[in-house]
Structure 1
Amino acid sequence: MNFTESVTLAGEYAKLEPLSLAHHDELVEAVQDGDIWKLWFTSVPSPAMMRSEIERRLDLQRSGSMLPFTVRRLDTGKACGMSTYMNVDAARRRVEIGSTWYAASAQRTAINTECKLLLLAHAFNTLDCIAVEFRTNRMNHRSRAAIERLGAKQDGILRNVYKLDDGSYHDGVVFSIIDHEWPTVRRHLVNQLEAKRGNAQGG
């Protein structure tokens, strides 16, 4: 299968649908929820830059290096973020799940867990990947903890990956899940979703 062929991935809480310029206004509204583009340790498009960011991701899809998604929460029907397969290496059957952000109201919900489960399942079960990577800023402790909770293992830290607008440098922490770890990771994520469902019903 073509690694960058558009596909829709749907679960109980969220749906990952192919990114398009038609999502622009919804994504602007989502990114304004919490003003999350102002966080210095992560790269989130501002409302003014949303159109160019969508176009950038679609250009990378056409070049064969990215498969971008809009994340839609199913309880409200609203777009609540973006995610991608990036740094696609179809020949070596590797992808990175990244360039992900969520509106503040979607954070700490079942949405991220389910989206990661959907993306990992498609990568390992459909695309037959041998490894899936995750990367985040060394200072983004919340993101690092979230990646570790998925069951990914830290591979290392890449220092001075690029220079930020304020003159500081991005140090990237690299994590991965490899193919023989996927069944255990899948069971772990399914259990996490069941626990969230039970807490919601009990609350």
Structure 2
Amino acid sequence: MGFTLEGPVLEGAFVRLEPLGHHHAAGLADAAEEQRDSYGFTWVPRREEVPAYVDTQLGRAADGRLAPYVQVDAATGRIVGATSFWEPRPWPSGEGLCAIEVGFTWLAASAQGTGINTEAKYLLFRHAFETWGVARVDLKTDSRNARSRAAIESVGATFEGVLRNSARSWAPGEDGRLRDSAVFSIITEEWPARRAALEHRLAALHERRTAATAPGRA
């Protein structure tokens, strides 16, 4: 389609997104083994599964279907999760990139609610719209995953509906079964307003973090 899916390093104040490599496996394993209560509907490997997880994602990358990242806490340098660009779709002409999905996202418990997810989505969206020139970014999650749906809506994506029996279920006890997927998107006409809202939110988060770590604060 005249486009090669490769994700560069993307860096912000809270998070650095690094293209996944085998050298990230130990850090991913540590992140994945934190409290796992929020992973009921999400593919997050156990420590012993991480090497195979990395191999699977790099295999998809080699096929041109995925650009996998690790999420690195910018303040500590610690790996705190993963995310990806996924399923590139070309324009009707067959040239260039029309749409991309952001998926395979998870964060260690200690990184949730810190601004890392918000900034990671901002960096991915900005690259997709402003560098690749896509018309659409979409995100999907198990329709039962209220936490994930709220997080997706919080970064400005619009709920479009539910695709029934559309993807593999990762819920415990549902091996071999399909899930219903809640579908969200941002389109190019919406991006300027979504970008401004995300930048405003990130600036406020950064201001609060700076104030909290200022010398002399009790």
TM-score by length of 1: 0.93
Aligned length: 202
**Whole-angstrom distance in 2 between the partners of 1:12 and 1:163:** 34
Q: Give the counterpart of 2:204 among 184, 195, 198.
A: 195
What is residue 111 of structure 2 aligned with on the other side?
106
8 Å contact from structure 1 (residues 82, 99) kept in 2: yes
What is residue 35 of structure 1 aligned with on the other side?
36
What is residue 166 of structure 1 aligned with on the other side?
173
Q: Percent of counterpart pairs with the same letter?
A: 35
CA-atom RMSD in angstroms: 1.7
Describe the superposition over 1:135-191 as per-residue Cα deviations: whole angstroms up to 9, x where unpaired: 011111111111111111111101122454623641100000000100000001001
Larger Rg: 2
Is residue 7 of structure 1 aligned with residue 8 of structure 2?
yes
**Whole-angstrom distance in 1 between the partners of 2:128 and 2:86:** 12
Describe the superposition over 1:19-59 as per-residue Cα deviations: whole angstroms up to 9, x where unpaired: 001100010001112135x8322221221211111111111
Shift of 1:90: 3.6
**Whole-angstrom distance in 2 between the partners of 1:20 and 1:4:** 16
What is residue 52 of structure 1 aligned with on the other side?
52
8 Å contact from structure 2 (residues 143, 182) kept in 1: yes
Change (3 A) 1:16 1:166: same
8 Å contact from structure 2 (residues 142, 179) kept in 1: yes
8 Å contact from structure 1 (residues 31, 103) kept in 2: yes
What is residue 152 of structure 1 aligned with on the other side?
157
Q: Give the counterpart of 2:132 among 113, 116, 127.
A: 127
Between structures 1 and 2, the one with greater helix share = 1
TM-score by length of 2: 0.87
Shift of 1:202: 3.7
Where in structure 1 are there 5+ consecutive unaligned residues?
A: none
Structure 1 residue identity aligned to 2:187: I
**Whole-angstrom distance in 1 between the partners of 2:145 and 2:110:** 19
What is residue 25 of structure 1 aligned with on the other side?
26
**Whole-angstrom distance in 2 between the partners of 1:6 and 1:177:** 19
Where in structure 2 are there 5+ consecutive unaligned residues?
A: 92-96, 213-218
Shift of 1:6: 4.0
Q: Which runs of structure 1 show a deviation greater than 2 angstroms over 4 or more consecutive aligned residues? A: 161-165, 198-203
Structure 2 residue identity aligned to 1:123: A
What is residue 184 of structure 2 aligned with on the other side?
175
